[in-house]
Chains A and B, each alone.
Chain A
């Protein structure tokens, strides 16, 4: 039995496609129209509104909240000032990634953690002996993401205090159309964008105000398919697609470390002890077994393969997420976990995990494509992530 987010009365009225998926037990729109392309372009050229209420959200408060976070996550949360947000993964004792999310420091001793999967028990188990309270606030906080180059203008038109001064990965308290809200300059699109956190009772009021004010800015509601394209362009990994949570599998071959996922920058080995540190220290010394990279599939190569079947080139209309082999030197060197044709970049971009010695940007590799169920290899080049990184994201 699906559950409904506080925005459901609005999202369901707009969802002409009737295409929904399950997200943590809630219904979440795949696309509002019968095709998602306009929603994608809204993210990149105007603004898009996305209901992200199903995200798991936890409040950690008490004198030892910081200690607990530093004990569990890989980043140094001591450096997170009040009003700041940090992205971080967290690992099991063997350094394998369990989940990732953001930590927002709301007050001196109050943090809000977002997560893709339930993590209450994991944090509680690690809090033994610490003076910290962990509350699951998933359902007591509703949230939308307002993303896209015009998102700032829309918020400035609505917010009691302007958001222009709000820096990347910072948050502020404000009132939007009479609704008390926390705005964080965060998102999953790699674009200029915000996430707005409110009480569920205010959900409809906020949605209506944003949609009305956003109308001249061509704001539109966007679903999962458009978001998936944006996050691939942004080089952001998706749990259960690009990697598997160490909690969700018991088989080593399916687990990954932050280094293997290109998240080494978020591992602070020099901070106080945290879950997985020893394993990660060793791994860093040894070098990770895998590297996460971007691939650009060559148009010419793809076109040639299609031509050999007497067909014109065909490009995917939405992101795919069924892993395919990546080859070099005549053998498999890894796998591509998701990919798409980027309408903005005019490039075929792919997220892949390959052997580190092939990870240098510019390295020629190839990726399996199937045409009429025939396996072929399309030429590709390793590139640095993210594929899409506009200045406006941070500016």
Chain B
């Protein structure tokens, strides 16, 4: 048997690479197996159209854990996150009102005041409250989930730490936190604001990657998850990685290589080889078999447990729990190569083209977009999260040309009649038509269009049902319940088989959190 490796990691996504880097740093011999020709998973930059570098799937960064940046020294390997400092929401098709939020609080205040003087006061207080909620919840992101029902020594220690932390919080904070955990984003925001468009823009954080609408209970918490980003110690700031989010993966890969990890592309794992209830190796689709002491899967829970291993190796209730883990991909992606910049008719200042452009003119608009999806259609007028990264990083496109990334919600994985080429194009058309309502010249400047439906995300990137977070980030699937009760500590019912993807705690987004925590647990077991 070929056992030159200590650890095999299936999937070269950013979490798999993170685990590889940490294990290699600890002196383990690590091999990463990536199915595609490029590392990064859903955090990739690819030149899909000549001269234009698309940030294909994920497109902004903020949740990347500071300890991962620090411990892997990612800036040394090319991490360079540029600020995205405004949000612009056109409110009516054609010429009309808008909402613009700037990085400068005084200008933002004036702008909100135009809509509601009360909300201008409430906005900084709301952000401060969310900042505080983030402060309250953040320690959880960096800890291995203790199991409150079957506590071992580590669990008890973890629970005590948590208890101590929560005891230190103000009663007001705990009250707000309880509300956040139970309410819908819309209801929660109703308690703060009267400006509908401001509520729509904020509620978006509660629906991204989730098959829920802003009025569905539970979305307030998802909103908090997106408020926990930080850059240079400042909470809730989003940024764009130079070169696209593939640059983040490249930086982590660079760190892994420096520590001695081996990274292999075009190496699709077919099966984890299990002998006597113990994982011993990986069989590749090519027929090659590689053996190692531990096997780690960075794929999502369904792939990790129902595809890579045979169910006979797993307890029945566990299989049941994984089968019930909700994926329900709800979003798609459209990437464009542009001949020039689009003109948004209601945009008061072209500087806003360098920030996020949000097509969410009202809460009803977003809820109606969800209504379509609830019954199996993609939204005729979807919510769009638009960014023109080439205005921030001009190296992504030829001079004067641009790329545009459009995150689209809702596009249900389980589309009536299923997805096909025709429906993909119809979906792409719906996105462009919606955008054209606000930027009529968009169709004239499109040089190339890439449309990714949840089905494509599953096929191309291995994301089950096209869920960008390896499973929804709702409370019932978080912390000690992610991905299944009793198995949230990165181990699995199969000995020497571990999980390190976004389907584990603390969940999806470019965080590096699962990858890091998994590595630390694996190293604990090694001793």
Which A residues are within 8 Å of any B CB, using their own CB? 1-3, 22, 24-25, 118-122, 124, 136, 247-250, 252
Contact = CB atoms under 8 A, between A and B. Distances in A.
Contact of B121 (A25, A120, A250, A252): A120
Interface string B17-34: 000000000000000000
B292 to A, nearest CB: 48
B121 A121 contact: yes
A249 B131 CA distance: 10
B84 interface: no
B117 interface: yes
B198 to A, nearest CB: 14
Contacts of B104: 1
Given A118-B120, A119-B121, 9 more contacts: A25-B109, A118-B109, A120-B118, A121-B125, A122-B121, A249-B128, A250-B135, A250-B170, A250-B173
Contacts of B118: 120-121, 124
B129 interface: yes
A130 B380 CA distance: 46
A250 B106 CA distance: 21
Nearest to A247: B125
A136 B119 CA distance: 13
18 contacts: A1-B102, A1-B104, A3-B110, A24-B106, A25-B106, A25-B107, A25-B109, A118-B109, A120-B117, A120-B118, A121-B121, A124-B118, A249-B128, A250-B129, A250-B131, A250-B132, A250-B173, A252-B170
Q: Give the bracket for the number of chain B residues in contact with chain A.
A: 10 to 19
Interface of B: 102, 104, 106-107, 109-110, 117-118, 120-122, 125, 128-129, 131-132, 135, 170, 173
Nearest to A136: B117
A2 B107 CA distance: 7
Nearest to A54: B106
Tell me if B's interface is mostly helix, strand, loop or mixed: helix
A3 B102 CA distance: 15
Contacts of A120: 117-118, 120-121
A212 B121 CA distance: 39
B128 A250 contact: yes
A49 to B, nearest CB: 24
A1 B121 contact: no
A249 B132 CA distance: 9
Nearest to A249: B128
A121 B102 CA distance: 21
A284 B244 CA distance: 58
> Top 10 nearest A-B pairs by Cβ distance?
A25-B106, A121-B121, A250-B132, A118-B121, A121-B118, A1-B107, A120-B121, A120-B117, A136-B117, A121-B122
A246 to B, nearest CB: 11
A181 to B, nearest CB: 26
A2 B149 CA distance: 56
Contacts of A118: 109, 120-121
Contacts of B109: 25, 118
Tell me if A's interface is mostly helix, strand, loop or mixed: loop
A3 B110 CA distance: 10
A249 B129 CA distance: 9
B438 to A, nearest CB: 23
B366 to A, nearest CB: 25
Contacts of A22: 106
Contacts of A121: 118, 121-122, 125
Contacts of A124: 118
Nearest to A118: B121
Nearest to A26: B106
Nearest to A252: B170
A25 B120 CA distance: 13
A120 B173 CA distance: 23
Given A118-B120, A136-B117, A252-B170, A25 B110 contact: yes
Contacts of B121: 118-122
B371 to A, nearest CB: 33
A136 B102 CA distance: 23
A239 to B, nearest CB: 15
Contacts of A25: 106-107, 109-110
Contacts of B120: 118, 120
Q: Which residue, of B109, B118, B132, has the highest number of chain A Cβ atoms within 10 A?
A: B118
Contacts of A249: 128
Nearest to A121: B121
Q: Which residue, of A1, A248, A252, has the highest number of chain B Cβ atoms within 10 A?
A: A1
Nearest to B113: A136
A3 B121 CA distance: 18
B390 to A, nearest CB: 24
A24 to B, nearest CB: 7
A370 B347 CA distance: 51
A119 to B, nearest CB: 7
A250 B109 CA distance: 20
Nearest to A122: B121
A99 to B, nearest CB: 12
A136 B122 CA distance: 15
Nearest to B125: A247
A1 B352 CA distance: 13
A3 to B, nearest CB: 7
B128 A248 contact: yes
Contacts of B110: 3, 25
Contacts of B128: 248-250
A22 B104 CA distance: 11
A132 to B, nearest CB: 15
Nearest to A2: B106
A250 B110 CA distance: 24
A119 B125 CA distance: 11
A75 to B, nearest CB: 23
Nearest to B119: A121
A22 B109 CA distance: 14
A228 to B, nearest CB: 20
A130 to B, nearest CB: 16
Nearest to B132: A250
Q: Which residue, of B107, B120, B121, B131, has the highest number of chain A Cβ atoms within 10 A?
A: B121
A234 B107 CA distance: 33
A1 B120 CA distance: 16
A124 B121 CA distance: 11
Nearest to B106: A25
A2 B170 CA distance: 36
Contacts of A252: 170
A5 to B, nearest CB: 13
A247 B107 CA distance: 20
A1 B106 CA distance: 8
Nearest to B172: A250
A4 B173 CA distance: 38
A296 B53 CA distance: 64
Contacts of A119: 121
A133 to B, nearest CB: 13
